[in-house]
Structure formats: C-alpha cells, structure tokens
A = this chain, B = another copy of it.
Amino acid sequence: MLFPPITLVKLKPGHIETLKHLALKGNIYEYNPLSSSELGKRLGLSQQSASKKILELLNLELIKRKMGARRQLVKITAKGMEVLRKEFSQYQKIFDSMEHIIIRGTLISGLGEGQYYISQDGYMDQFQQKLWFKPYPGTLNLRIEGNDLSKLQILKDTEGISIEGFQSEGRTFGRVKCFLTDIQNVECAVIIPLRTHYTDVLEIISRHYLRDKLKLKDGDIIEIVVSL
C-alpha cells in the first residue's frame, strides 16, 4: 500500500466506557498490567474487541502503553483524564440540579383547616425544633396545575423532614413531612401529610403571615424553590 493507514478515530460512547473501566481498575497514574481478555470481561466484550478498543484509545492518545514480555502495561494520559473529568462534571450537573425543584402554583383560600392542624402543640414543637422557626398559625394554599403536578409526585416520593404524628384531645394527628423552600426570599416550608388521598393543593407555612408580608392575594401565581 502506498499510503500509511492513518485511521482517524472519532470519540464514541464505547471509548469513554472503556476509559472509565481503566480508571476504575486504577490505571490512572501508573502503568498497570491489563490484559485484553480481562478488559473484555469487564466490558462484556471478547478479547479481540477489547484489544481493538485499546488500540483505538492509543490512537486517540487517551492512554499510553508499554509492552512487557508477556503483558501490556497501560495508563491513562492527561488527555484521557480530561475526557473522564468532563463526563464526571456532566453527571455532577445532572445530580446537582436534582437537589431542588421549582413548583409554580396559584394562591387560593383554604378552608381554615390547615390553621387548626398546624396550631397543635404536637406539631408546633416539632416545627420549631426541626425547621428552626415557629410558624405563624395558618397556611398558604397553592393550587398546582399541569406539568407541575408531577413535581408534587416527586415530593411524595422524597423523604423530606419528618414530623411525627401524635394523639391529642382524643384525636389522632398523622405524620407529615416538610421541605424547606422560599417564596420571594422569605423562608418557608411545604407540608405534606404522609397518608393522604390525591390533592393538587400545596400547604405552606412560614414564620410570617405571608399574605400581608408579601402583599399576596388570591389568584396570584407563586413560584417556590423546594429543597429536596
């Protein structure tokens, strides 16, 4: 052949996967032995394909290799680590964004029930202890619609801050959970009863009487950032 086989390989998902397994095996800083058959087992591939993967990574300059008598020694290059770091930061971004969710709702008037419930000392004492504020004895009610309803489901699926149930005046007050949040930079908490039927209303408590403090009225669209 007249022309040398300059095979320009593009970076594909399989390459990153391979590189990741090299890193997990500890071939980052130092040359470590890694047979193609062992790599194949890790990747769920044949010895032949794993060998090819190594050659491709060499071609991409993501790894370096020393040939020993019986075995090859492999280590990841700085460029290779760069690729892994980029990948890592993408996953960090994904899971960072999961730490809080934004829910939008419309302010509505409650039935005054919330007020009765949260005023109970059995709840109030725990709020003060676990949320670090003593709530104003009333709740702000947000009606959630459309897409945001699925976010309500997330809250139901997430642990949150647990407020234990108790007995008082011959009644049972059930366990609820809270999520810290804020409305226009005012510290609040969302309260969600643990055992409840379907609802599209979110109850929010705060140290302050929010309707006055933030000049809110029924029908206002409110956005809350909830910490999971």
Residue ranges of A at the interface with B (Cβ–Cβ < 8 Å): 12-14, 16-17, 20, 23-24, 26, 28-31, 75, 78, 84-85, 87-88, 90-95, 97-98, 101, 147, 150-151, 154, 157
Contacts and interface: CB of A to CB of B under 8 A. Distances in A.
A193 B95 CA distance: 39
- Determine chain A's interface SS by DSSP, over half rule: helix
A150 B13 contact: no
A47 B39 CA distance: 33
Given A13-B16, A16-B13, A29 B91 contact: no
A150 B30 contact: yes
A20 B88 contact: no
A31 to B, nearest CB: 7
Contacts of A87: 91
Contacts of A91: 20, 84, 87-88, 91
Contacts of A94: 20, 23-24, 28, 84, 88
A88 B84 contact: no
A92 B20 CA distance: 11
B84 A31 contact: no
Contact of A24 (B13, B23, B26, B93): B93
Given A13-B13, A13-B14, A31 B93 contact: no
A75 B12 CA distance: 24
Contact of A101 (B16, B17, B29, B88): B29
Contact of A29 (B16, B78, B92, B150): B150
A28 B95 CA distance: 10
Contacts of A20: 90-91, 94
A95 B91 CA distance: 13
Contacts of A97: 26, 28
Given A24-B93, A91-B87, A91-B91, A31 B147 contact: yes
A151 B31 CA distance: 11
Identify the 8 closest CB pairs spanning chains A and B, nearest first.
Answer: A13-B13, A88-B91, A13-B17, A23-B94, A30-B150, A13-B14, A30-B147, A29-B154
Given A13-B13, A13-B14, 7 more contacts: A13-B16, A20-B90, A24-B93, A26-B97, A78-B157, A85-B95, A88-B94
